[in-house]
């Protein structure tokens, strides 16, 4: 019989992998906001109380590296950058809704 501790420590456990993807400062909140609409950096700074440019940049970059967010450069004057959920990111919405993490 598998114990709870073995399941949590097992790196092949899909839930553990998901938790690793979204662990870290601001990532769950960024993901929640990305579900609602495309994100702009300045908007995130205003919406996530207590965040700062450095930690927010790191979190966005890490979510991009694991293909949950994509960075889109909008070539207007001034230049705009938006972050959208990828297909991989969108596939997690149902999981979070089932867990009642998202409304």
Average pLDDT, stretch 21-45? 88
Cβ–Cβ < 8 Å for 93, 34: no
**CATH second-level architecture of 4-98?**
Orthogonal Bundle (1.10)
Instruction: Inform me whether the pLDDT recorded for 7 exceeds 50.
Output: no
Segment 42-87, tens digit of pLDDT: 999 999 998 899 999 999 999 999 899 999 998 888 888 999 999 9
Q: What pLDDT score does 102 carry?
A: 56
What SS3 class is residue 39?
Answer: strand
- Compute how many other C-beta atoms are within 10 angstroms of the C-beta atom of residue 52: 11
């Amino acid at each position: 019989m598998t114990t709870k501790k073995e399941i949590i420590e097992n790196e092949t456990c899909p839930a553990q992998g998901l938790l690793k993807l979204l662990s870290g400062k601001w990532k769950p909140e960024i993901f929640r906001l990305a579900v609602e609409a495309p994100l702009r950096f300045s908007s995130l700074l205003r919406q996530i109380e207590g965040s700062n440019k450095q930690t927010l940049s790191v979190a966005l970059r890490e979510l991009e590296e694991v293909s949950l967010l994509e960075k889109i450069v909008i070539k207007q004057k001034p230049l705009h950058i938006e972050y959208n959920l990828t297909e991989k990111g969108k596939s997690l919405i149902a999981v979070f809704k089932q867990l009642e993490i998202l409304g």
